[in-house]
């Protein structure tokens, strides 16, 4: 079957890929572009492990087709760190031990980064509400929320 040629901006870099009509953005990222940070937890839009930013929207990449990304900017967890410098959220997740198996972590980091962009000083309730679509079977969520609050504090310079 003929493949589609798709051009996007991926983590700030012009990027092209070929994909089939039915291939999800998640599969394109992982299988065609070797960006395996985004995880497949459910493939049905329920767990958030595959969360990426697409054209300014937080989406489940398992529910988006690769061809739908044409001409759009995509941001994945691989875009958070700048060279050797981890994003404050990444550092705080490590400091707070806010991950265990790590399957949920990339999606939560992408989602939390967008939250702090929209709301640099979220309450605990606001963090829990924003991250409600990101399921974690390991941590019990408290450490995740603490890490996000701590990163927000640091990013505000508080
Ligand atoms: S893998 Fe996409 S929401 Fe679970
Ligand atoms: S750390 Fe295992 S699912 Fe969240």
- Confirm if 77 and 86 have CB atoms less than 8 A apart: no
CA 15 to each of CA 10, 53, 139: distance values in angstroms, whole numbers, following the listed order: 6, 15, 35
For ligand 2, atom 3, which residue shows the shortest CA distance? Answer: 136
Model pTM?
Answer: 0.97
What is the 1 CA–ligand 2 centroid distance (Å)? 37
Ligand 1: lining residues by beta carbon, under 6 Å: 40-43, 45-50, 60, 62
CA distance 140 to 63: 26
Q: Does the beta carbon of 109 sit less than 6 angstroms from any atom of ligand 2?
A: no
Residues 119-134: tens digit of each pLDDT: 999 999 999 999 999 9
Report the pLDDT value the prediction gives residue 1, as an integer from 0 to 100.
75
User: What percent of the chain is predicted at pLDDT more than 70?
Assistant: 100
Q: Does the beta carbon of 101 sit less than 6 angstroms from any atom of ligand 2?
A: yes
10: exposed, middle or buried (Cβ count in 10 Å: 0-12, 13-18, 19+): buried
């Amino acid at each position: 079957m003929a493949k589609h040629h798709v051009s996007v901006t991926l983590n700030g870099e012009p990027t092209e890929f070929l994909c089939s009509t039915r291939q999800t953005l998640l599969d394109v990222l992982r299988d065609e572009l070797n960006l395996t940070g985004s995880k497949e937890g459910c493939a049905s839009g329920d767990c958030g492990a595959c969360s990426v930013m697409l054209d300014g929207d937080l989406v489940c990449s398992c529910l988006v087709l690769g061809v739908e990304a044409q001409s759009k900017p995509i941001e994945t967890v691989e875009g958070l760190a700048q060279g050797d410098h981890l994003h404050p959220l990444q550092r705080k997740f490590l400091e707070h031990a806010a991950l265990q198996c790590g399957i949920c972590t990339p999606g939560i980091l992408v989602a939390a980064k967008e939250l702090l962009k929209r709301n640099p000083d979220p309450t605990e309730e606001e963090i829990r509400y924003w991250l409600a679509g990101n399921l974690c079977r390991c941590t019990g969520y408290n450490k995740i929320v603490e890490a996000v609050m701590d990163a927000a504090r640091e990013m505000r310079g508080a």
